[in-house]
Amino acid sequence: MKLVVIEGVGKKPAIQKYLGSGYKVFATMGHVRDLPEKTLAVDVENNFKPTYVIMPKKKEVVAELKKAAQSAECVYLATDPDREGEAISWHIATILGIPEHEKARITFNEISKKAITKALECPREIDKSLVDAQQARRVLDRLVGYKLSPVLCRKIQSKLSAGRVQSVTLRLVVEREREIMNFVPEEYWPFFSVLSQRGGKIRAALATKIGSKYKIGSKEEVDEVIKGLDGKPYIVTSVKKTVTKAHAPAPFRTSTMQQDAINKLGMSLNQVSMSAQSLYEGVDIPGEGKVALITYIRTDSTRVSPEAQAAAREFIAAHYGADYVPEKPNIYASKGNVQDAHEAIRPISLERTPESLKDLISRNHYRLYKLIYERFLASQMSEAKYNSLTADIECGDYGFKVTGRTPLFPGYTKVYSDKEKDDDDMKKLPDLSEGDRPTFVEYSYEQKFTKPPARYTEATLIKAMEEKGIGRPATYQPTVSLIEKRAYTERDGKSIKPTELGFKVCDMLIMYFPDIMDVTFTAEMESKLDTIEEGGKVWQQLIGEFYTGFEKEIEKAMGDGYKMKAPAQETDYKCEKCGSPMVIREGRYGKFLACSAYPKCKNTKQLDENGNIKVKTEEPPVETDVICEKCGAKMVIKTGSRGKFLACPNYPKCKNTKEYGE
């Protein structure tokens, strides 16, 4: 019996099915060794040597793994094909005593018989550079979190924490909110002349005045323009007719999949992440068991394997015709700092169409699979072509512009398009020629005001993180969720805004740790960490360069007496438990009433936005179809201080919980 070790228990059935009876698949359910929670566990005096321990919750898993390995003729380490997966394999190899140069590591980008068989044919040694890259991030994040958090607790309030990526992400949210708060609206008046030419109406937008760009800023200016136009002829001075092309969008990488699913499907970030994970690991299909439908989901690459590209071109020709297949395969340039080890996110087989699965899988799985399928198919298709027109019209001192675009050949839009954008662009082409004098019909104008930048949503915050180089594909979703979980941000509908606590934490960190909170510094650090993965830098050296300045900033922050802590505010309320006065204090979730006799009396009460005591009304738990993977019971929906969540009904015997929407 050969032992194949993987991470997620969700993909175990699919992999076992493809491997057959000669193999045993063992799932570790993520990391088994890590830095202990209660201590720094990084020896800063000894080249930042980390001390790893078997995680308390994984001791039974490790015992079972050792037992399985002892009876196996060989062990294959098939954890995820990324930094974290490589590090998990290294930890497992250390625990099992697998020699450093033994070729026990296998990776596959998709869970299919072909990919797994190919991986088993060419096992390799563990990639130590990849492991070092993960260790560097883990050690750096531990140093930052472990050292920063006490500063926040001392200067703001207890039980606060900070992190390398989450803190600078919080800064993006805080700075956007301040932009909105400080925004001063400006008045403007979009102005059009509606004209008639050969029986068709033309809506010409005011663009220039005496040859220079012109924007109307008041009703008085509107009246002035009308006065300058009244009675004067409109003359078409130029007409440009062209065939324009729109290139197919690149296949999804992690961030673009998350953004599109949030924007187009209305799913939450957690729902997207959980559904994508299931599609990668395998979903239950009647008569087939667990079947994986898409490739690995944590990637910043738009690369497609030659085999997948050839299969797509063949599929497109057969189903849409040769005109929809580009002369040469579409190649998409990767952005800077891309770790191109993985492919883009794509369906494993185009023959497994979304419609063939619609009644077999859950609604969210179907919708997300359809989005990924259509995006990949479109990415391999021909350009869309349009008849486009741009015309200039003059009247007195003023210049107007007319644009229009109509489809000539649909190309990739046959399967995938941004409908709202396309609808805005599609206008019937006016029948215009140079020298035409269209007839005036009416003026069209309205008062508007410039709007402040929009608050971030989950989708736009991920986009900003990627564009600014903050974090990597595997960290986008956890980071956005974490700053909300820690009550540094909150939701206003779909928008994300900072809490009062979030403002304080951000300002305090900027005051004492300008580098940690600097977007450019964080992006450069991410790039340096990537060079370790490529074998270009020793990880201890990088940490040492950072820690020298960071340690001085910690000493300075802990050494002065400046604090943002608000003093307790006296009230007329009496504690019903001990009779002492109640006072208003600030906590992670805002202001609350606390007994002044604390810690002898720990009575507290929540306050609403108006400072009134909240009356607790407990809703009965609602049973769901989600099965608790720890005890097999049907999980229930409960409501806590941060909203709804899934909980095991067998609490306190089973304390398993999940985020609502998983």
Asked if residues 547 and 555 have their Cβ atoms less than 8 Å apart, the reply is: no
Place of tokens 């909110």: 177
Shortest CA distance to 450 belongs to which of 176, 190, 214? 190
Tell me how far apart the alpha carbons of residues 522 and 510 are, in angstroms, rounded to a whole number: 13
Place of tokens 């399967």: 415
**Residue 57 burial by CB count (10 A; 0-12/13-18/19+): exposed, middle or buried?**
exposed
Q: Which two tokens stand for residue 626?
A: 């989600």
Computed from CA positions of residues 335, 337, 343, 344, in that sequence, does the dihedral angle turn out positive or negative? negative
- What would you measure as the largest C-alpha separation in the chain, in angstroms? 96
CA R_g for the chain: 30
Residues sharing a CB contact under 8 Å with residue 132, sequence separation 6 or more, in sequence order: 532, 533, 538, 539
Q: 311 by DSSP, 3-state: which? A: helix
**Residue 185 burial by CB count (10 A; 0-12/13-18/19+): exposed, middle or buried?**
exposed
Q: Which two tokens stand for residue 342?
A: 């993985």
Tell me how far apart the alpha carbons of residues 370 and 347 are, in angstroms, rounded to a whole number: 9
Q: Which two tokens stand for residue 524?
A: 């450069």
Shortest CA distance to 344 belongs to which of 333, 357, 358? 333
Q: 110 by DSSP, 3-state: which? A: coil
Is residue 410 reached through a cis peptide bond, with omega within 30 degrees of 0 on the bond before it?
A: no
Instruction: Tell me, yes or no, if 412 is annotated catalytic.
Output: no
Q: What is the DSSP letter of 71?
A: T
Residues sharing a CB contact under 8 Å with residue 60, sequence separation 6 or more, in sequence order: none
SS3 for 627-661, per residue?
ECCCCCCEEEEEEECCEEEEECCCCCCCCCEEECC
Q: Which two tokens stand for residue 195?
A: 């004209």
Place of tokens 């509606």: 194
Q: Residue 278: beta bridge partners? A: none
The angle at the Cα of 364, spanning 360 to 370, to the nearest 5 degrees, equals: 75
- Residue 75: CB atoms within 10 A of its CB come to 20
CA torsion, ordered 130, 133, 139, 144, to nearest 10 deg: -150
Q: 407 by DSSP, 3-state: which? A: strand
Residues sharing a CB contact under 8 Å with residue 98, sequence separation 6 or more, in sequence order: 75, 77, 92, 104
Of 296, 373, 412, 660, catalytic: 296
Q: Which two tokens stand for residue 87?
A: 């590090």
Per-residue CA distances from 525 to 132, 484, 540, 543 (Å): 15, 24, 14, 10
Shortest CA distance to 627 belongs to which of 638, 636, 615? 636
Residues annotated as catalytic are 296
